[in-house]
Structure 1
Amino acid sequence: MTSQPQQQLPPDDSPAACPAPLGEPPALLSVGVEEEFLLVDPVSRSVRPEGPQVAAAAAGELGQRVGTELTRYQLEGRTDPHTHLGEALTELRSVRAALARAAARRGLRIVSSGSPITGLVAPVPLTPGPRYAESLSLFRALDDEQSACACHVHVGVADPREAIEVSNHLRPWLPTLTALAANSPYWDGRDTGYASWRTTTWGRWPVAGPPPYFESPAHFQELVDELILTRTVLDQGGLYWDVRPSHHLPTVEVRVADAALTPEDTTLLAAVIRALVATALKAIRAGERAPRPAPAILRAASWRAARDGLAGHSLDPLTHRLIPAAAQVERMLRALSPALRHSGDLDLVRTQWERLRVQGSGADRQRAAYRHRSSLHDVVDHVIAATCPSQAPPVGKPGAPDGQARRR
């Protein structure tokens, strides 16, 4: 990280963006995305427990690209791996549209928000299955918060040792990704005061948040084995760290982000994460060790990012200073500009980041929808339209000012 914030990405012909070629350029890393969605009734705007039914209806069109989640309020859409993010954006739109059609056949809408805006019932209705029943037995009321929705980005890294080292290198940037992707200001009818309340709820789990610094693959495996042996997690799939080597794919899985409001928001996140992984791999292969921010400071930085999002300040885990969140994002993007240029994503990231600077994060846009008439119905309607523009407008009366949401 540099000591002074930068205000924009470097031009294409700047030295930072155009490093001298050193041999053959590395191949582009593949990217796959998993997006979690909530189902809502377009009249009441409350979440509805019909995820398994909608997933089954969409499976005829999407096959393995749709699945269920722990709660019946949710379902998941998945993309194939892509090396060109224009193709990924096209598939993200297509998957969302297919899920929206399946939901509409049951009179429902899909929403891409990190948290339920209104209508949450606790305890939540769980999807049937032995794993989910075992989760409830072990984690109890923590499962009530599993109705939060995330966006998971998989980047192809086949070497397990490199995957663990990539995790180490990404740790200092995880709070910045949290701020960039913040899209869960509301929880069950109230404004939480946080830009990413999902991040805060996940922080209550025994194995969540920024991962430890791993000294070696053996250190990683020893810790995982101990967590499973002590029944702290069910299995390796229960490691809810913000970044982890995937337990079933040859990828690094970055799990830090809220479900993104629009497909364009998701594509920006995927481009940035791929560039982070590519930059980390370059450093690893050059023999550079990852920075080691103090765990307490990294946790504090994650909390600050969840609270403020892009609208406030970020705590830099390496300098221990508060700086404007937008300036911290720009520091990250400058550091990533060589990788972004190599992948062909520099213009995409510039364009989408400038849009976010003007419009705000997903959390900012949700709150802007609320301020229009102090109506949570307006927030839900805005998220419905942003999630998939092809979704029909709500069939009920427009949301009247309801005064339900309040800030701390």
Structure 2
Amino acid sequence: MRTVGVEEELLLVDPETGEPQALSAAVLARVAQDDADQDVFEKELHNQMLEFATHPQSGMEELRSEIVRCRKEAARHAGEIGCTVAALATSPLPVSPSVGMGRRYRWMEEQYGIATREQLVMGCHVHVSVESDEEGVAVIDRIQPWLTVLAALSANSPFWQGKDTRYSSYRSRVWQRWPSAGPTERFRSAERYHRRVADMVATGVILDEGMIYFDARLSRNYPTVEIRVSDVCLHAGTPVLIAALARGLVETAAREWRAGREAEGHSVSLLRLAAWRAARSGLTEELLHPVTMHRMPAETVVRALLDHVGDALTETGDYDRAHEMCAELLRTGSGAGVQRALLERTGSLRDVVTECARITQA
């Protein structure tokens, strides 16, 4: 069974006002005093962010338990210096992001200017194990049309600088400002993939391979395909669903490759339109169907994804739970819907943030 790991980026906020707090260095100093968490938490681009990574897991229950534990530990460490964490993909409240120290981040700020300073966005990255780079690239070539469905399921960033953006995932629109971000054409071999990455680094527009921000890429540190389209999710169960579906996509694509089926896909132009539609609509309206690229109700498109990976989900024991969780999200809405409902009920973005911080740690 393929293993799965999750990376989540959390927003550091004041527990009373909900305002973002540039305290990641202080939080990580606390983490450094705890031997158990030193390999879990990391700094990120902005001082208002804190990242954690789970260990590779085979079972979704184990993965969920680790995500819950990491969120609670993040909140504990943050609480020791007077802030807390919220699983929000953008800050609902106005913020002036503070870029972290270090040569890499300073290079990015100098190179990309305001695009770097405004990149206070929190994502969820899923790593799924693969047997080789050849298998990994074959998977990347085949899964891209389906990734927009994961983006819609995870959408959790409707607000930006104190205003409703009318998007479900505005994070993904901000993320597209990086020059290497987004969907890719089919590579067809690992050699071509690595040649393309080397050519991109050689331009000097990006600093190194770590700045290859494809929607799905080969990890440079682990034998995995890394899927990077999702917002950080409000409820701890949602990244588990995203991880189960991501593993199903990887396994299904690998089987197609081993069976000799050609990778069928769409142009980057169409993939970008599908990504925009998912960011705009989330689960509330229509999405572009990954096979036909025709507009269809979100429920129809989510069911198509479940059908596509059904055999893989059954074999890992995730079929029933994935169907139940997708049905619940379609009924209640993703994190974006929860945030908007909270604002409608309370009339206060501060209350939205503080309630989301509570949900994050539940």
Contact kept in structure 2, 1:85 and 1:267, CA below 8 Å: yes
Question: Once the two structures are superposed, what CA deviation does each residue of 1:110-161 show, in whole Å capped at 9, x if it has no partner?
Answer: 011111111311xx21111111111112221111232100000000113001
The answer to whether the aligner puts 1:298 opposite 2:268 as a matched pair is: no
| Contact 1:149–1:259 (Cα < 8 Å) also in 2 | yes
* Alpha-carbon distance in 1 for matches of 2:339, 2:212: 30
Q: Report SS of the residue matched to 1:209.
A: coil
Q: Residues 174 and 210 of structure 1 are in contact (CA less than 8 Å); yes or no, is this contact kept in structure 2?
A: no
The residue type equivalent to 1:365 in the other structure is V
- Find the residue that maps to 1:80 and give its secondary structure: coil
Within 2, Cα distance between the matches of 1:290 and 1:325? 25
Please point out which of 128, 141, 163 is paired with 2:114: 141
Kindly provide the amino acid, as one letter, of the partner of residue 244 in structure 2. Answer: A
- Aligned to 2:312, which of 321, 334, 339? 339
* Alpha-carbon separation, structure 2, partners of 1:212 and 1:233: 19
- Which of the numbers 231, 246, 251 marks the counterpart of 1:273? 246
| 1:241 match | 214
Q: CA deviation at 1:280?
A: 0.7
C-alpha displacement of 1:97: 0.5
1:352 to partner: Cα distance: 1.5
Aligned to 1:92: 67
Q: Normalization by structure 2: what TM-score?
A: 0.97
1:211 to partner: Cα distance:
2.1
Could you tell which deviates more after superposition, 171-180 or 58-67? 58-67
Q: 2:185 is aligned with what amino acid?
A: P
What's the Cα RMSD here? 1.2
**Contact 2:91/2:161 (<8 A) preserved:** yes
Match of 2:190 in 1: 217
CA distance in 2, matches of 1:181, 1:133: 30
Alpha-carbon distance in structure 1 between the residues aligned to 2:192 and 2:148: 24
Look up the SS of the partner of 1:193 in the other structure: coil
Cα offset, 1:247, TM superposition: 1.0
How far 1:317 sits from its partner (Å)? 4.3
Give the letter for the 2:148 counterpart: P
Contact 1:310 1:326 in 2 (8 A): yes
Residue number in structure 1 paired with 2:4: 31
- 1:31-77 per-residue CA deviation (whole Å, 9 max, x = no partner) reads 01100001001222110000121123134141211101010000101
Distance 1:317 1:296, change over 3 A: farther
Distance 1:109 1:66 in 2: 15
Q: Number of aligned pairs?
A: 360
Amino acid at match of 1:120: V
Separation (CA, whole Å) in 2 of partners of 1:214 and 1:145: 31
* Cα distance between partner residues in 2 of 1:239 and 1:103: 30
> Any runs of at least 4 consecutive aligned residues in structure 1 with deviations exceeding 6 A, and if so which?
none
Deviations 1:307-349 (A, max 9, x none): 0000011012432310011210111001111100101111221
Give the distance between the partners of 1:117 and 1:341, measured in 2 at CA: 38
- Identify the residue that residue 155 of structure 2 maps to in structure 1: 182
1:351 lines up with 2:351 in the alignment:
no
Partner of 1:80: 55
Instruction: Provide the TM-score with structure 1 as the length reference.
Output: 0.86
Residues 1:54 and 2:27 are matched in the alignment:
yes
In the alignment, the residues of structure 2 paired with residue 192 and residue 144 of structure 1 have an alpha-carbon distance, to the nearest angstrom, of: 19
Q: Say yes or no: does 1:197 pair with 2:170.
A: yes
Determine if the alignment matches structure 1 residue 318 to structure 2 residue 327: no
CA distance in 2 between counterparts of 1:221 and 1:137 reads 27
Which among 344, 350, 353 is matched to residue 377 of structure 1?
350
**1:266 Cα deviation after fit:** 0.9
CA distance in 1, matches of 2:262, 2:157: 34
Q: Which letter does structure 1 place at the counterpart of 2:293? A: H
- Distance of 1:175 and 1:350 partners within structure 2: 18
SS in 2 for 1:131: helix
- Could you tell me how far apart the structure 2 residues matched to 1:249 and 1:45 are? 36
Separation in structure 2 between the aligned mates of residue 55 and residue 342 of structure 1, nearest angstrom: 39
Q: 2:91 aligns with which of 111, 116, 132?
A: 116
- What SS class does the counterpart of residue 2 from structure 2 fall into? coil
Residue of structure 2 in register with 1:64 after alignment:
39
Unaligned runs of 5+ in 1: 1-27, 390-408
d(CA) in 2 for partners of 1:326 and 1:363?
A: 17
Deviation at 1:169, TM superposition (A): 0.7
Report the residue type matching 1:114 in the other structure.
A
Partner SS state of residue 9, structure 2: strand
Alignment deviations for residues 262-284 of structure 1 (CA, whole Å, 9 cap, x no partner): 11011111111011101111111
> Residue 231 of structure 1: CA displacement?
1.3
Check whether the contact 2:21–2:48 (CA below 8 A) recurs between aligned residues: yes
- Indicate whether 1:103 and 2:74 are aligned: no
Q: Aligned with 2:156: secondary structure? A: coil
SS in 2 for 1:38: strand
Shift of 1:303: 0.4
Decide which structure has the larger Cα Rg and report it: 1
Preserved CA contact (<8 Å) 1:185 1:194: yes
% of aligned pairs identical?
36
Q: Secondary structure at the match of 2:18?
A: coil
